[in-house]
Amino acid sequence: MTERLLIETLDRLASNGEYVDLWLRDDDCIEPTEALDAFLGAAARQKMPVTLAVIPAHTGEALAKRLESEPDVLVTVHGWSHENHAPAAEKKRELGLDRPIEVIEGQLREGLEKLTRLHEKRLFPMLVPPWNRIDPAVIERLPGLGFNSLSTFGPEKPAAVPMLNTHVDVIDWHGTRGGRDPDLLFAETAALCRPGGAIGMLTHHLVHDDVVADFLDRLFGLTASHSGCRWRSAADILASPAFPADQEA
C-alpha cells in the first residue's frame, strides 16, 4: 500500500521539524444534496477545513442555509454558470476570450457580488475557473473585480493575484469517471510533499463513488494529526504560508 510512502515522507518532514500544508477544494457546488452531506460529514469528522467552489448563476439561499451549521467551510467563486464557450474541437472553458472580455468581467463581478450577499463572512474572494482554464487577459482584470486570489490545477505561476492551486485530482475524468486508484493518489501526494509547500486536493462531491469516499477517509485519518502536515483553509495558507520567504534565508 503506497499510503506507507506518504506516511514515511511526512515522518521525514516531521523529524526535521518541517511540514507541508494540505488543503481541500471541492468544485461544482450548487445546492444541498446527500452527496454534499456525505462529503462535508467526512471532512468534519476529522476537522478538515473545506473550500467549496460554488457556481454563482445556479445557486441560492438553500446552500447558504445548509452551510450555516458548518464551522469550517469557505465559499469561493466557480466562474459564473459553468458554461462552455470554446469551439467544439477545443477544450472546454468558460473564461477564455471566446466572448468580449467586458461580458466575462460583468459575469465575474455579478458572481462575486451574489455569493458575497448569500454567504457574507464565509465568502473568500478567490476565483476558481471552471475546467481550471482562464485566459491571461482575464487574470489581469481580477484585482479590479475584487478577487484576491486564483486557483486552478497544477504548478502555480506568477500572476496579477496570488495563486493557490490544486495538484491531486481524485477523479478519473477520462476513464471510469469514478475514483482514481488510491495507491496512485497516495504516491502523487507523497511526491509533491515539500517543506513549506502547499498541496491542493481536488474533489467533486457530486460524482464521488465508494473509491473516492474510502480514499478520503484513509487520507484524512492518516494525516489529521500528523505533525509533518497541516490541513488549512485556502484563506489561511494565502495569509501565512507554512514557511514565509523571510524565514528561509
- Interface positions with Zn ion (CB under 5 A): 27-28, 130
Nearer to Zn ion, 18 or 27 (CB): 27
Judged by beta carbon, residue 119 or residue 229, the one nearer Zn ion is 119
> Closest separation between CB of residue 45 and Zn ion, Å?
25
Residue 238 CB, shortest distance to Zn ion, in Å, is: 21
| Contact status, residue 175 vs residue 162, Cβ threshold 8 Å | no
Instruction: Output the smallest distance, CB 53 to Zn ion, in A.
Output: 7
The DSSP result for 170-190, as a single string, is: -B-TTTTSSBPPHHHHHHHHH
How many helices and strands, by DSSP H and E, does the chain display?
8, 8
Which long-range contacts does 113-119 make (Cβ < 8 Å, 24+ apart)? 114/56, 114/59, 115/54, 115/56, 115/59, 115/75, 115/77, 118/59, 118/60, 118/61, 118/63, 118/64, 118/75, 119/54, 119/64, 119/67, 119/75
How open is the CA angle 24-28-30, to the nearest 5 degrees? Answer: 115
Q: Which is nearer to Zn ion, 95 or 161 (CB)?
A: 95
CB of 209 to Zn ion, least distance (A): 18
Listed residue (199, 164, 205, 196) closest to 185, CA to CA: 199
* Closer residue to Zn ion, CB minimum distance, 112 or 242: 112
Smallest gap from Cβ 78 to Zn ion, in A, equals 6
Nearer to Zn ion, 95 or 118 (CB): 95
Q: Which is nearer to Zn ion, 6 or 77 (CB)?
A: 77
**Integer-rounded Cα radius of gyration of the chain:** 18
CB of 128 to Zn ion, least distance (A): 8
